[in-house]
Each structure stands twice: as C-alpha cells, then as structure tokens.
Structure 1
Amino acid sequence: MAWATLSRRLSIAFAVLLLACCGASAWLQMRAGTQHAQEVTQRLSLGLAAHIAQNTELMKPGGLDPVAVKDLFDKLMTVNPSVEVYVLGLDGRIEAQAAPPGHLKRDKVALEPIRRLLAGERLPIAGDDPRSLDASKVFSAAPLRMGGRDAGYVYVVLQGEDHDALAANLSADTVLRTTLWSMALVALLGLIAGLVAFRLITRPLRELTAAVRRFEAEGIEALEREAPMPAPPRRADDEIAQLQQAFEQMTRRIAEQWRELSLQDRQRRELFANISHDLRTPLTSLHGYLETLLLKAGTLSEEERRRYLEIALGQSRKVGRLAQEVFELARLEYGVVKPEKENFALADLVQDVFQKFELAAEARRQQLKPDIAPNLPVVSADLGMIERVLTNLLDNAIRHTPAGGEIEVRLRPAEAGVAVQVSDTGPGIPGELQKGLFTRPAFADGGTRGGGLGLMIVQRILQLHGSDIRLVPQPGKGAVFLFRLGGAAGR
C-alpha cells in the first residue's frame, strides 16, 4: 500500500514518539512547577504555625479555649482563604478545627511528616489533608505547649480547598492552555524538522528504490542507458551507502555479464552462419560431382570418372575436417578437455611437427625454417594440445603462403618460459578481419586470408595454459603469430 512506504512509516513513528515525548515533558514540567510552587509556599509559611502556637489567647487554665480557637481560625482563614488551621493532639488526633460541617474526612493526621518538617528535612514535605482521604498537601506545623509541657501541634494546611478550587479553574483556563499550546508548537516544529531530516536521510534509499523499479520494469536496458553517477563521499559505516554501493556493483556486474552474454550469443550466431557458409561450398561441390557420376556413369571416361571421384573425396575430407574442428572447439568451450601438463623440450616438438608438413611444403615449393635459440628452458604444458596449436598454425601458413614462400617458427627464451613466433610470407590478414580473429571465425571472400575455427581452437588451448596468442605486425612478413609457454618449475 502507498501509505506503507518506509519514509511514511518512519514519519508516523517519529510523530507518535514526538507526541509521547512532548506529553511526558509537559507532565514533568507541570509536576516540577507544582512542586516548586509547593516548596515556595511552604518556605514562606514555615513560621505560621509557630506564630499561632505562641498566641496565649488560645489557652485557658483547663486547656484550649474553643471559642478563642474558632475565632482565631476564622480570622486567619478570612485573611488567607488558602490555609486551613487545625490543632492536633500528641497522637495526631484532631482536637480543634474550623472546617464547615461535612468537609472533615479524617479525625487523625499522621505525625511522621510533621516530625520530618520539624527536623528540618528538605522541602517540600507533604502531610495528610484532613479534608480528603487520599490527598497530601504542604503544611506548616509547630508544637503546642501548655503549662510547660507538650500538649499537641498546630497544623496548618497551606493549600486548602479554596486554593485547590481556584487553582483548578486557573489551570483549566490559563496554565493548561498555555502548556498545550507550547507542547503543540514544539511538536509541530519537531515534526517538521524530523520529516525534513528523514527525507534527507532516506533520499539515497528512495533513489535506490527507483533504480530497482526501473530495472524491474525495463530490464537491462535501464542499466545500460544510465551513466553511473559519482556518489558523494559517505562514512564507511553508513548502511544505506553500503547498500547503494552493493547495488551499483551488482548492476555493473549484471550489465557486464549481459554484454558478455550478448557478445557470446552474437559470436555463436556468427559461428553458425560462417560454418554454414564454409560447409555449403564443399557439400554443394560434393553433391554436384556425385550427381554427375550417377547421371553420366555410362558416358564418362575412366580418367574423367577418376577426376570426379578425387574432387568429391577432397571435398568430403574438407567437410570431415570442419566437422572435427567444430567438435574439438565444442569440447574446449565447455571444459570437457583439461590439459595434462608435462615437461618437454619445445624445440623437439617443433621438429616433429615440421616432419609432418615436409611433404605438403615440398609440394608447394615452400620452405620450413626453424629458428631456435640455444639453451631453451623446458616448458610445462600438455604435449598433445601444443602439438595441435603448432599444427593449426603451420597448416594455415602453408595453405595461405604462395609457392616459393617461407614459413618460419622462431623460439626464444622469455619470462621464465619460451616465446613462440610463427610467421609466413603470404598475403597476411586484412585489417577488417583482424579484430576478433581468435574469438569468431572470419572466412574471407575473394581468395583473401581469414581466420577460421583453427585459430579459435588455438586460442582456447592457450587460454587453458594461462597464455594468449596475438597477431603482431612485422615488415616483410605476412601473418605473424606470437604466444608464450611457461617453463617447468625448478628449471
């Protein structure tokens, strides 16, 4: 639901918490104000009971004079309506008072607060209110002596019923209204400040939420279309910043993986298209010659029949070789083949591969030239795979080097291993076909040289050995390929 967003929930929670804090603060202020007023009243009237106790008119030879007591009490309460005067016995029982009929609720007052007051403890000190069963009020008290001995206490409630009635009216009319208005103003200002603060704090989270929703609605295009914005510096322990950074890293990784998948998908489609293109020619030729042999079997001479069969057989070999390369590339791509490394001398392997291509080179009047530096380190690699690498490179070089040309394999020590360079004197590879030469088959038209599945197989094999191959320009040469193999450990 719309109201259930994080920002709104935080705002509502903050508003409720703020109102609760304002209410608690107002209650504490009112309570503190009340205690302050009681302390002030009690301090100002602390000697009132003692002054009353010193009045000799209250006494007669037999004890208290009820008429004098009532007359004094009425005068005091008329002058100060907020006080209520009582005379207590030594046990706290009320001996004399001037309360209207029916207003007295107690006949006895606890003496403990009186003793604390007389001992000088910290004010305010509240004692029992004779006109209430549960209320406590500040008071003034003093011992009452008769004939040189203690006869009781003068007990003066300083905030009586009239004071409470007037205070209640004033509180309801002025103090409470002022407190509520103050609390409302503070709450409103705090709420505004809190909402602004929440909006600033949660802005990165809202931006992140918007980015996630765009990603959910538009997919990877939303990530590729938006340029990464430089994030402002934040503290390392900021959870929202960490979340935003993690999301940005995730989106970049997803975008990179998506681009890589798109590239691989495009390369796969190009591979299928190029393989289909490369298969179409030999298959068409094979089909044509076989069909010719079938239709004209009785009219062809033995020499023509033999020539047609040799051409068909050559096209069949080409199709078989291409099928084998596709199968081998698939095994390398999907990790079916793993290199089984061993230590061997690369110079010996080059000589063995040269022997395999001697007849083909002689038939084309080409020269195979080894250029091997002395004291080469032993390499650690899969012998069969590296032989396949050299075979593919030499096969390409022989097929694309004109008669009388030269194919050279150069071995040099480099970076705790051996650098291998295979070059020829052919036409080279056109610039438009050099990009992506080892990642997709590029079959050139018009007799120019391209890069087929053989170079892709070479690239995958070398990647399994932690190496790479690249095409390097070299004046006076055609195609020049360079790669490195690591040396054996401890050699």
Structure 2
Amino acid sequence: MNSLFTRLLIATSLLLLLLFGLLWSGLSWYQQTSQQQVQQSLHRNLAEHMAHINPLLSQGVTEKAALTEALHDFMLLGPSFEIYTIGLDGQVIGYDAEERLIRQRQVDLAPVNAYLNGANLPILGTDPRNPNQKKIFSVAPLVDPANQPQGYLYVIIGGQQFDAWQALVESQQKPWVWAIAALGLILFSLLVFVLLVYNLTRPLARFQRDLRQLHQHKLKDGLRLSGPYQGSRELQSISADVDTLLTELNGQYQQAQAQQKARHEFLLHLSHDLKTPLTALLGYIDTWLVTPANQRDPELIRTAARSGQQLQRLLKQLLELAALENQQIVPKRQPLNLKPFLQDLADSYAPALSQKSIALDIDCERDTLVDTDPMLLQRILSNLMDNAIRHTPEQGQIRLQLHSQRKKLWITLTDSGSGFYQHQLDQLQRASARSTSQSPLPQLGVGLSIVQKLVALLEYRLEVESRPNQGTQIRIALS
C-alpha cells in the first residue's frame, strides 16, 4: 500500500470514478432537460387546440360533471397525457381519473403564468398525481362567451403511466449501460495509469538507481548523480538538492582529510617538540644520579629544571590550543591603552632577554586606545615574544613597534633570529588566510598555532615576512 505504484493506481481509479460520476450526472441532467424542452416545445399549443375543438371548453366550462365525457375522450390521446381543468386560484376542478389518484388539489400558478407569458422552456409545474415531482405541461386559458376568464385547461406531458413504463425500461437497460461504462472506465483507467507510470516512475526509478549506485563509489572520487532528470519539477529540484548535498559532502570530506593529515603532521611535530625537553630533562637527571654525591654539579639540576619548564610551557600551550579548537574561549573586549600594556609585557621578559643579552626596542611614544580583549592580546604577544627570544641568538635584537599604516593600527614584532624557509612561510600564510577553529594546524610550532587561532578569534589580520638566517617580521592589524 505504501508503494508509489499502488498509490498511483488507487488515486487514479478514485479520480476517474469521481469524474465518471460527475460526467454521468451532468449528461443525465442534460439529456433529461433536452428531452423535456423538446417535448414541451412540440406540445406547446396542445392545450389551446384541445380547448378550441371542445364545445364546452371553448365556452369556458370547467366543472368536472360537465366535462367528464370530454376529458375521457381527450385521454384517448395516450396514457402519457393527464388532463385537468383548474380554477383561477389554481384549484383542481375537473379530471378523468380515480379520486384516490389525485393527491394534490392545488396547482402552483407561477409556472402557469410563466408558460403563458412565453418564458423559455422547459418549465416544470405541479403534478396533481405526484406532488413530489415536477412535470412539463401545456396550458391554455378558458374564457366564457363574454371573454371573461373562468380557469385553465392543464395538460401534464408524460404522466404517471409514462413514468412507470420509463422506469421499467431503464431498470432493464441500466445494468448493461453501467456494465459497459464500468468496463470502459477500467480500460481508460489502465491506459491513464500506464501513461502515468511511464512518465512519472521512469525518472524516479532512474533516480533511485543512481542513489543505490552511490554507495559503490568512494568520497574521494567525487560523488555526483548521473545527470539532469526529465521528470516533474519536484524531481528536478530534489535531484539538484541531492547534487548540492553531495558537493558539500565532497568538500567536507576533502576538508576532513586535509585536517586529518594536518593533525597527523602536527602531532608528529609536537611529539618532537615534547621529546626534546623531555629527553634533556631525563638525561640531566640520570647524569646527576650516576655522578658521585661529592662530584654532582648543581648546573645539571638547573639545566634539567629549564627543560622541565620548557616541557611545562609546551603542555600549557597544548591545553590552550585544545581550548581554542573546542571554541571554549570567548573574547571579552574592552578599551585598552597599548603604551603601558606593551611596556608591562617588555618588563615581564626582561630576565629572559638579559640571560641571552638580547636588546628589546619598544616604539610606542603616545597613548593609544584600542577595543580588544587584553588577556587574549597578551597571549598573542607572549607567544610571539617566546618564539622571538628562542630563535634569536645571543647579542641579537628584538623590536616591538606600534604604528599606523594603510588606515590601520599595527603591532609589529621584528627579530634578528633564524627566520622561516619559504615553504614554511607559505604554509603559515595559507593557514592564516583560512584560519577558523576547525582549520588545519600549521606545522610551525604550538606557539604560532595559538597565535593564528587567537588572531582569527579577535578578527585581526596576521602578516609574516621572513628569510632564513635574516630574521622575521610579524605584523598584526588591530583595526
């Protein structure tokens, strides 16, 4: 019952039955009306001729007692005619029938007047023998020798006996008519159904076949339907929507593959970053343990502690990067004066700079307000300072500058460190251009990954210029 074939068959059959019923009713009504119009037109002057040829009726006599013989003679015209005389008030006066057959003594004069005034036929009037059914009739006024109206001669066309014979004939013929009509309806329904199935289900079958074949292909091959469908507009719209979904699915698959590859490479890179301080930490501790107690150098423990701190910093950055990946960090913007902010940042790195004899130059001569999240901006600059100090050799130089350029406010960090190779720089710039919380991670360290995510979160712009062994310049557009 849920198949398209069954539903189409049922819907088509019911629709055709309804249409057949309406058509049959319409044709029956039209046939009956046409027949009544023809018969009433043929007998339009019947009552007038009857009144004219009968001596009593022509004198305006309407009483039943005087007209019994005349009415009986008129009934010889045939059983399909019923003849009455009625008064000016519509009361039935004379008739040639048994008393029990007359079931209504009053005739509605409105149709009579419409008939005499030449209204369009057919006109249906009261049937004294069958009040529940209106009949066509012929009528003529009856006047006395002084030309005074006395009543009407009222002739029912197609009387009670005519109805009985007609019902008998129809009862014998209708089963055959209905049987032929039902057979024609069945054949027509089958023809319409076959055409519907051919025009509707063939594109659907092709669409279903194409969908079944999709599971045999792999996403990397690029899933697509076989082409446009010639079915209904709805089917064309559905196929277009499916193609759109497949295109999006292919794009998401390619993006997921790229992210998976980037994450794999990132984990390899991260494991190397974690392995280096961990190996150093364990190596210095093992050396300290195997050295005799009176010969143990405290510098071994201090070096191991620095490796542990480096390992702790990497783990902290990794947790921070995971929070950014899961969109757990939301910016809280507020006005910030960048001059004291940058000075505080420089003061916090004074010990690390002094240890490597690196000179830090801060170029921020005036107070500058910017709407930002101070904590997130500090994380960005702290990661950049960490990388700059780590990659800048002793006696090197780092410059932190705040300036306006191209109608934007920029923070620029320049170092004289080892710099990036071109392929690393291209990778970082591509990642920055499409950076979101779900974008692939650049393979240039956790610190730069965090910077990239935070810059995208604050809707800033990141630009990097670098050459191997010639230093790096990183610029952040704040507005």
What is the TM-score when the length of structure 1 is the normalising length?
A: 0.68
Q: CA deviation at 1:138?
A: 0.9
Q: Which runs of 5+ in 2 are unaligned?
A: 433-439
In the alignment, is the contact (CA less than 8 A) between 1:105 and 1:133 conserved in 2? no
Q: Does 1:316 align with 2:316?
A: no
| 2:14 alignment counterpart | 16
Question: Which amino acid in the other structure matches residue 457 of structure 1?
Answer: I
Q: Distance in 2 between matches of 1:290 and 1:476?
A: 33
| 1:399 alignment counterpart | 390
Q: Distance in 2 between matches of 1:473 and 1:291?
A: 39
Question: Which amino acid in the other structure matches residue 159 of structure 2?
Answer: G
In the alignment, is the contact (CA less than 8 A) between 2:419 and 2:468 conserved in 1? no
Worse-matched range after superposition: 327-336 or 370-379: 370-379
| 1:445 alignment counterpart | none
Q: Does 1:52 align with 2:47?
A: no
| 2:125 alignment counterpart | 127
| 2:272 alignment counterpart | 277
Q: CA deviation at 1:452?
A: 1.4
| 1:359 alignment counterpart | 354
Q: Distance in 2 between matches of 1:123 and 1:294?
A: 128
Q: Which runs of 5+ in 1 are unaligned?
A: 233-237, 443-450, 487-491
Q: CA deviation at 1:459?
A: 2.4
Q: Distance in 2 between matches of 1:406 and 1:23?
A: 98
Q: Distance in 2 between matches of 1:351 and 1:279?
A: 27
Q: 1:253 to 1:187 in 2, by over 3 A?
A: same
Q: 1:323 to 1:69 in 2, by over 3 A?
A: closer
Q: Does 1:156 align with 2:155?
A: yes
Q: CA deviation at 1:176?
A: 5.7
> Tell me, what secondary structure is at the counterpart of 1:31?
helix
Structural mapping, 1:340-355, within 5 Å: 341=334, 342-345=336-339, 348=343, 352=347, 355=350
* Superposed CA offset, 1:26-55 (max 9, x none): 313321331232123223312111111112
| 1:169 alignment counterpart | 169
* Superposed CA offset, 1:429-450 (max 9, x none): 35157525776363xxxxxxxx
Equivalent in 416, 421, 427 of residue 429 of structure 1: 421
> Tell me, what secondary structure is at the counterpart of 1:319?
helix
Q: 1:266 to 1:157 in 2, by over 3 A?
A: same
Q: Distance in 1 between matches of 2:225 and 2:389?
A: 50
> Tell me, what secondary structure is at the counterpart of 1:479?
strand
Question: Which amino acid in the other structure matches residue 318 of structure 1?
Answer: Q
Q: Distance in 1 between matches of 2:267 and 2:243?
A: 36
Equivalent pairs, count: 452
In the alignment, is the contact (CA less than 8 A) between 1:373 and 1:413 conserved in 2? no
Q: CA deviation at 1:137?
A: 1.6
What is the TM-score when the length of structure 2 is the normalising length?
A: 0.69
Q: Distance in 2 between matches of 1:229 and 1:343?
A: 61
| 2:464 alignment counterpart | 471
| 2:31 alignment counterpart | 33
> Tell me, what secondary structure is at the counterpart of 2:101?
coil
Question: Which amino acid in the other structure matches residue 294 of structure 1?
Answer: L
Q: Does 1:389 align with 2:380?
A: yes
Structural mapping, 1:104-143, within 5 Å: 105-106=101-102, 109-113=105-109, 115-116=112-113, 117-129=115-127, 132=130, 134-143=132-141
Q: Distance in 2 between matches of 1:409 and 1:229?
A: 59
Q: Distance in 1 between matches of 2:29 and 2:183?
A: 16
| 1:235 alignment counterpart | none
> Tell me, what secondary structure is at the counterpart of 1:435?
helix
Q: Distance in 1 between matches of 2:312 and 2:103?
A: 123
Q: 1:379 to 1:46 in 2, by over 3 A?
A: closer
Q: Distance in 2 between matches of 1:323 and 1:476?
A: 28
* Superposed CA offset, 1:390-410 (max 9, x none): 443343234334566554545
Structural mapping, 1:74-473, within 5 Å: 74=76, 76-77=77-78, 82-87=80-85, 92-93=91-92, 95-97=94-96, 105-106=101-102, 109-113=105-109, 115-116=112-113, 117-129=115-127, 132=130, 134-145=132-143, 153-160=152-159, 163-164=162-163, 165=165, 169=169, 173=173, 180=181, 184=185, 188=189, 195=196, 199=200, 225-227=222-224, 271-297=266-292, 302=295, 305-306=297-298, 308-333=300-325, 334-336=327-329, 338-339=331-332, 341=334, 342-345=336-339, 348=343, 352=347, 355-362=350-357, 368=359, 370=361, 372=363, 377-383=368-374, 385-402=376-393, 407-414=398-405, 415-424=407-416, 426-429=418-421, 431=423, 434-435=426-427, 440=441, 442=443, 451-472=444-465
Q: Distance in 2 between matches of 1:160 and 1:317?
A: 119
Q: Distance in 2 between matches of 1:476 and 1:118?
A: 121
Q: CA deviation at 1:58?
A: 5.7
> Tell me, what secondary structure is at the counterpart of 2:154?
strand
Q: Distance in 2 between matches of 1:332 and 1:178?
A: 79
In the alignment, is the contact (CA less than 8 A) between 2:338 and 2:367 conserved in 1? no
In the alignment, is the contact (CA less than 8 A) between 2:420 and 2:467 conserved in 1? no
In the alignment, is the contact (CA less than 8 A) between 1:109 and 1:128 conserved in 2? no
In the alignment, is the contact (CA less than 8 A) between 1:58 and 1:65 conserved in 2? yes
In the alignment, is the contact (CA less than 8 A) between 1:361 and 1:368 conserved in 2? no
Q: 1:138 to 1:455 in 2, by over 3 A?
A: same
In the alignment, is the contact (CA less than 8 A) between 2:9 and 2:193 conserved in 1? no
| 1:70 alignment counterpart | 72
In the alignment, is the contact (CA less than 8 A) between 1:423 and 1:481 conserved in 2? no
In the alignment, is the contact (CA less than 8 A) between 1:15 and 1:191 conserved in 2? no
Q: 1:166 to 1:402 in 2, by over 3 A?
A: same
Q: CA deviation at 1:479?
A: 3.4
Worse-matched range after superposition: 31-40 or 184-193: 184-193
Alignment root-mean-square deviation, CA: 5.4
